[in-house]
Amino acid sequence: MPYPTYGFGEDYIETPSTTKRGFIVPVTREAIFFDRTNLVLKRAAEVGESLGLNKEKRLLDVAVGVTNTFKWRGTSYNTYQAATPWINSLSANELVDWTDVDAAEQLLANMLDPDTSEPILLRASTVLVTPAYRHAAHRIFEGSEVRYTSGGTETLADNPLAGQYTVHVSRLMYRRVLASGEAEAAAKKWWFLGDFKRAFAYMQNWPITVTQAPPNSEAEFTHDVVLRFKASERGTPAVLNPRYVVKNTG
């Protein structure tokens, strides 16, 4: 008896076009000679840090849903949805105790593959919080035990979350949420849980590269520009599958 024949349908996402970013910092002979702080050369050589900060901001904007670039099967969607075709945004879920984590986990547990309608295979391993909830996250994810109270009976048990998640605290994430127009009190309560590596990617042509112009250049001969530093990179953040991360707000 021959095996049955299976086929497959079309499924694709469109990632944003990559963009080249960079700049050149020239340092003149006069700038070096009259520099009383001895910091001109040091600051000029740190041009890559500014480009790195820009890259981190763009990555965070996509990861937290401030910038939405997800395009699936020709249709653009916001990364975080409160209704179909997927639900990965949970309001009124401030990070207070293990029950709030459980609520986010249950949302992921109910996430289905759009083609097979089967549960997607994932292992949520990362939590991202603002500095305001750093200590709350430490208590919830690193505590040795939890207490259950039901019907007047208190039960002690090992913390089911201990060692299950890596917690990242991001001051810059909080600032990016504020920059999007969210109120300060609300922005502090944003937190995310999921598998970020499967949800997002950075589409990169080349990484951040810092180079120094060679000596005896035309700019040095004609304009006394004795040093030039160039920083450049080309890439863009992209959403691969938003179903792997849950956004939680207070």
> Could you read off the pLDDT of 78-132 as tens digits, one per residue?
999 999 899 999 999 999 999 999 999 999 999 999 888 999 988 899 999 999 9
pTM greater than 0.75: yes
Cβ of 237: how many Cβ atoms within 10 Å?
21
Q: Which amino acid is at 52?
A: G
- CB neighbour list of residue 208: distance below 8 Å, 6 or more residues apart: 48, 51, 52, 55, 231, 232, 233
- CB neighbour list of residue 64: distance below 8 Å, 6 or more residues apart: 173, 176, 177, 190, 192, 247
> Could you read off the pLDDT of 147-158 as tens digits, one per residue?
878 887 888 888
Residue 209 is inside which H or E element, if any? strand 200-212
Domain 19-248, second-level architecture:
Alpha-Beta Complex (3.90)
Residue 45 confidence (pLDDT): 83
Give me the residue spans of the domains in the chain. Answer: 19-248
Q: Where are the alpha helices (DSSP H) in the chain?
A: 29-33, 40-45, 47-63, 98-109, 134-142, 171-179, 184-187, 196-199, 218-223
Residue 199 confidence (pLDDT): 97
pLDDT band of 14, cuts 50, 70, 90:
very high
Q: Structure tokens of 134? A: 């750093």
